[in-house]
Amino acid sequence: MVQDILEAIMAAEGSEQPGRELAGLAGLPVPESYRGVVVRAEETRMFEGLAARDKDPRTSLHVQEVPTPELGPGEALIAVMASAINYNTVWTSIFEPVSTFRFLRRYGRLSALTARHDLPYHVVGSDAAGVVLRTGPGVTKWSPGDEVVAHCLSVELEDAPGHDDTMLDPQQRIWGFETNFGGLAELAVVKANQLMPKPRHLSWEEAASPGLVNSTAYRQLVSHHGANMKQGDVVLIWGASGGLGGYATQMALNGGAIPVCVVSSPDKAELCRRMGAELVIDRAAEGFRFWSDEHTQDPDEWRRFGERIRELTGGEDPDIVFEHPGRETFGASVYVAKRGGTIVTCASTSGFQHQYDNRYLWMHLKRIVGSHFANYHEAWQANRLVALGQIHPTVSRTYPLEQTGQAAYEVHRNLHQGKVGVRCLAPTDGLGVRDAELRSRHEDAINRFRGR
């Protein structure tokens, strides 16, 4: 049955009127089950005693058949052509810092509708590009056959705070991480207010890959909720060729700022240069060690790092530090930010107990801003930049759904560049391009940014 859906979507390929072909999906029955990438509740203790680095997503992520859930009000069922690996799938797969079954249990207690999410398996994944198959009661803006990407903000909006900024909804969750029925699957259930138009010049795997990280980088760097970047700002970007960093680098360049890109290999430095960045620091080649031992930071290394930044910028310090590595780099980030500058953080990959010298914060009037994903409007703006061809996908490699474990392993071990894509229903890369003219205008950049 999923095969019938795929055939209908493939019929749109090369058709003069793909929209008409896809509208036919409304007439196909909804499959009773589908294949999804899951972690299993009975395996949450499988890595006990191992260091985080040694916990292997290839043994905890399984592809299995799961029943298709009933659609609730305001929801949509989508056929997922492609998805991508986000670091949150790495966290889920190694059951760190907590098992995501805790999130599902808590969500399940909210209502009869959310109880559907509390299952002994968790279908993961927070990105998707695909086609709407069905919509639930009350959905008016989307219909079967619409080609879409999904952002990953799930909100209930029954409380007042979320009506100012949906990220402040007390029931805010990340779809496919804190909810079930995520995007690393043949079908996925989303709230209709997660949907956005698929950029027409991109293939399925390209369209799926910016999603979570592009929206996060947009709020963190560009939005007034984040660092509110302006023209001429010097922006220090950690992991500048990685998931978040690849988009932060593009947004800095696109917005007239000056990115200083930090990476850990010549290949990654080369990818930043291909994106147009001129100021790049290879932290591995230059041997920065901000901690002399597990408990002690080395301020001399902060100074050496700050001097290196000034050497590249002609004497300027960063107006903004785009933070996510966390414990390992945070002391250096606070130190090198400009007087009055902003350190904006959305994560703690290397450890969430940060240490920094507060004198450099208060005496130099710096501020630390916490940022998390993006509201619908920010995600929409970020997707619009992709659809306009101002921001390009950075997908470097793709895997079929069956090899999602390998894809997550590469992200866990930092063996990747940019984004790692996953073909869910799409049998090959390169399908789904609907605007060949727009694509040809951006083809060079798309290829340049794809990494290796």
Ligand X SMILES: NC(=O)c1ccc[n+]([C@@H]2O[C@H](COP(=O)([O-])OP(=O)(O)OC[C@H]3O[C@@H](n4cnc5c(N)ncnc54)[C@H](OP(=O)(O)O)[C@@H]3O)[C@@H](O)[C@H]2O)c1
Binding site for ligand X (CB under 6 A): 86-88, 212-213, 216, 238-239, 241-245, 262-264, 268, 283, 324-325, 328-329, 346-347, 349-350, 372-373, 411, 414
Nearest to 28 by CA among 58, 55, 1: 1
Query: Rounded to whole angstroms, how far apart are CA atoms 30 and 140?
Result: 20
Task: Name the residue nearer to ligand X (CB basis): 297 or 329.
Answer: 329
200, HSE (Cβ side, Cα atoms, 13 Å): 10
Least Cβ distance, residue 346 to ligand X (angstroms): 4
Q: Is 356 helix (H, G, I), strand (E, B) or coil?
A: coil
Least Cβ distance, residue 79 to ligand X (angstroms): 25
Least Cβ distance, residue 263 to ligand X (angstroms): 4
Task: Name the residue nearer to ligand X (CB basis): 143 or 414.
Answer: 414
Calculate the dihedral angle through the C-alpha atoms of 334, 339, 341, 343, rounding to the nearest 10 degrees.
10
Task: Name the residue nearer to ligand X (CB basis): 144 or 451.
Answer: 451
Give the pairing of strands 258-263 and 234-237. Answer: parallel
DSSP one-letter code for 336 = H
Task: Name the residue nearer to ligand X (CB basis): 264 or 403.
Answer: 264
Task: Name the residue nearer to ligand X (CB basis): 228 or 414.
Answer: 414
Nearest to 363 by CA among 328, 345, 326, 337: 337
DSSP one-letter code for 373 = S
Least Cβ distance, residue 375 to ligand X (angstroms): 12
Task: Name the residue nearer to ligand X (CB basis): 21 or 270.
Answer: 270
> Is the CB of residue 146 less than 8 Å from the CB of residue 227?
no
Least Cβ distance, residue 250 to ligand X (angstroms): 13
Nearest to 79 by CA among 145, 150, 130, 12: 130
Least Cβ distance, residue 353 to ligand X (angstroms): 14
End-to-end alpha-carbon separation of the chain, Å? 35
